[in-house]
Amino acid sequence: METTLIILKPDAVQRGIMGRIISRFEEKGLQVVGCKLMQISQQLAATHYEAHQSKPFYPGLIKFMTSSAVLVMAIRGNGAITIARNMMGATFGSKAAPGTIRGDFGVSNSFNLIHGSDSPEAAERELRLFFKPEEILNWKRDGDGWIYDQSGGKAE
């Protein structure tokens, strides 16, 4: 099982579609193991997006991410990073396929609703930025036996 960071960005929060997006992850079978509504500080945004610092869109990205509340989530599941990124769709809403979060809810190339970690290493780093260890819970869902085939001793 892996855990990934998901951020519902200011546009998702302001548009009131947080619940619809969270439902998609839960309906897919992924487990929310941490969640909080917060305002990202300039410093946290700069640290989180430091890899983009030299890119022309960086100042606008920082301004956008600190402009309003966001919902940060730790989501767990077998292959959670790849599954979440596939569910998110292409970066630009105008190019995202129907059926994806960005494809169904977005048209903007700037306001793209959601962030998800792109690798296990990024997930580990990003989760530490937004959550204290005790804020990510390990809890057993009784329905996991109906989500994953565990007959071989591990989730498939």
> Mind telling me the catalytic residues?
115
Can you tell me the distance from the alpha carbon of 54 to that of 56, in angstroms, rounded to the nearest whole number?
7
Residue 76 Cα distances to 1, 84, 106, 120, angstroms: 7, 10, 25, 12
Can you tell me the distance from the alpha carbon of 1 to that of 79, in angstroms, rounded to the nearest whole number?
7
Q: What 3-state DSSP class applies to 31?
A: strand
Those residues whose C-beta lies under 8 Å from the C-beta of residue 66, and which sit 6 or more positions away, are: 39, 40, 41, 42, 45
Dihedral of alpha carbons 138, 143, 145, 149, sign: negative
